[in-house]
């Protein structure tokens, strides 16, 4: 496997994608990696379904906010506050998870990318699959978030109410000095957290930005650009081969690999100085786009439709429009 990973730097125009012998479907943690696997799985993977469910259950408060702004009576403002409060709770949970992501991802990258990447993959297949599951969640989360454009408007109304002195902490009786200090401190903490949450959700793809920023910081701090790039290229090759060479596979496996393949390309494009699209890149963009184009889904809005996958690649890449990107590659990605 080591020779194959080192051989990912393919000749220009070479359509070969090496087989790495890593099966994402059946990978399980070994005894040596089990303790870290369980810890990082609890931190990074297990919260995913619940967070996606919260986002799917989001109910916009546009009508209540519109009424409260047009006619700011106590009753209308109270209705609007009650309507946005569940959204605030959802965003707090999401923001807390992003903090866990920033803490846990460097630990995962350290195991997979410090030293010999091929040996790390052989020894830590459970953690490698966990990383792939994380990328899958990131894609799904941001796809849902982009379909909820009123989230930011709802949270902006909540922040305006905070600035007017309304917040959820009501400890102590009026006139009690200690209670007033406590309320002021709570308001300041609430306002600071609201500012940070607002900055987080301002991005169209906040979870992808979080993982890009965290990975970039890890690469810069540890000078591991080549190792992390090798790992992402290996993950891309694994997903590409799983999809392109197993035609009768489970649709869920195909969906999973397609999403992981796209996010791994985007990550590579951000951490490699030349990006993923230049002529000598170890990632074959033309073949990747072609295999994405083969997707047929009954619902084009499905999270792993060709449109959604190629849009993610097109709008989240860093080097697609660089002069070093071959014109044919750029046109292929932009035209699809």
Please tell me the distance from the alpha carbon of residue 113 to that of residue 127, in angstroms, as a whole number: 11
- Angle at 240 (CA atoms; ends 236, 241), nearest 5 degrees: 120
The pLDDT score that the predictor gives to residue 294 is 83
The pLDDT score that the predictor gives to residue 181 is 42
DSSP category for residue 303:
T
The contacts of residue 229 (CB under 8 Å, 6+ apart) are 268, 271, 272, 282
- Token pair of 85 as six digits: 């409060």
pLDDT tens track of the chain, all 336 residues? 444 444 444 444 445 565 666 778 888 999 999 999 999 999 999 999 999 999 999 999 999 999 999 999 999 999 999 999 999 999 999 999 999 999 999 999 999 999 888 888 889 999 999 999 999 999 999 999 999 999 999 999 999 888 876 554 444 444 444 444 445 456 556 778 889 999 999 999 999 999 999 999 999 999 999 999 999 999 999 999 888 877 546 888 888 999 999 999 999 999 999 999 998 899 999 999 999 988 755 554 456 688 899 999 999 999 999 999 999 999 989 886
Backbone angles phi, psi at 17, to 5 degrees: -120, 115
The pLDDT score that the predictor gives to residue 231 is 94
DSSP category for residue 69:
H
The pLDDT score that the predictor gives to residue 316 is 95
């Amino acid at each position: 496997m080591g020779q194959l990973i080192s051989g990912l730097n393919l000749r220009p125009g070479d359509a070969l994608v090496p087989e790495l012998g890593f099966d994402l479907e059946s990978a399980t943690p070994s005894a040596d990696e089990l303790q870290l696997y369980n810890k990082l799985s609890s931190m990074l993977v297990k919260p995913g379904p619940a967070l996606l469910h919260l986002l799917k259950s989001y109910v916009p408060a546009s009508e209540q906010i519109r009424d409260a702004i047009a006619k700011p009576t106590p009753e209308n403002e109270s209705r609007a506050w009650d309507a946005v409060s569940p959204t605030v709770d959802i965003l707090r949970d999401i923001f807390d998870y992003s903090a866990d992501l920033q803490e846990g991802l460097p630990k995962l990258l350290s195991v997979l990318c410090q030293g010999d990447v091929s040996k790390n993959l052989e020894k830590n297949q459970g953690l490698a699959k966990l990383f792939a599951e994380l990328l899958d969640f990131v894609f799904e989360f941001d796809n849902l978030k982009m379909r909820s454009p009123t989230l930011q408007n709802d949270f902006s109304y909540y922040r305006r109410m905070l600035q007017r002195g309304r917040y959820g902490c009501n400890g102590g009786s009026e006139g009690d000095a200690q209670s007033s200090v406590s309320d002021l401190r709570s308001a300041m903490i609430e306002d600071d957290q609201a500012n940070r949450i607002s900055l987080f959700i301002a991005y169209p793809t906040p979870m992808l930005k979080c993982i890009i920023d965290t990975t970039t910081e890890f690469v810069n701090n540890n000078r591991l650009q080549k190792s992390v790039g090798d790992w992402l290229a290996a993950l891309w090759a694994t997903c590409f081969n799983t999809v392109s060479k197993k035609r009768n596979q489970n649709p869920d496996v195909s969906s999973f690999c397609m999403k992981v393949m796209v996010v791994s390309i985007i990550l590579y494009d951000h951490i490699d100085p030349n990006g993923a699209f230049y002529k000598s890149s170890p990632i074959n963009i033309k073949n990747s786009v072609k295999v994405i184009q083969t997707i047929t889904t009954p619902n084009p809005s499905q999270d792993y439709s060709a449109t959604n996958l190629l849009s993610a690649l097109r709008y989240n890449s860093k080097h697609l429009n660089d002069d070093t990107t071959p014109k044919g590659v750029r046109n292929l990605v932009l035209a699809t």
